Structure 1
Amino acid sequence: MNQFYYDAVTKMEQMGVDDEYIQGWQCGYLQNPKREEQRLTPAYEAGYADGEEKNTDNFAQWVKQS
């Protein structure tokens, strides 16, 4: 397993980042196809774009508010 990927996912989970964003980031990072259109959300699409770029700068924007 790629250490960067593992560390990024662990950090997102610890920060409480939206699950949709995390799933999108993972799919983008791994270059998986996007979900079918009716299941896309803004968080997923933002995560996917960041994952494709291997970008970890936007995690805090997607932390779930309690």
Structure 2
Amino acid sequence: MNQFYYDAVTKMEQLGVDDEYIQGWQCGFLQNPKREEQRLTEAYAAGYDDGEEKNAENFANWVRE
């Protein structure tokens, strides 16, 4: 597995990032199809877009309080 992917997911889990964002990020990174529209959430969509771009800069915005 890609070390960047593993490190990013581990960091997100440690920081307590929203699960929906993490799932979206993983799907986007791995270029999986997006969920059906009725199951999309704002966090998932943001994660998907960031994952697609291989962007690990925005997930701090999705840390659960």
Structure 1 length normalisation: TM-score? 0.97
For 2:27 and 2:20, how far apart are their aligned partners in 1?
A: 11
- SS of the residue corresponding to residue 13 of structure 1 reads helix
Q: How much is the aligned-residue C-alpha RMSD, in angstroms?
A: 0.3
Q: For structure 2, list consecutive stretches of 5 or more residues without a partner in the other structure.
A: none
Q: Kindly report structure 1 stretches of 4+ aligned residues shifted beyond 6 Å.
A: none
- Identity rate of aligned residues, in percent? 85
| Cα displacement (A) at 1:59 | 1.0
| Cα displacement (A) at 1:41 | 0.1
1:7-46 correspondence to structure 2 within 5 Å = 7-46=7-46
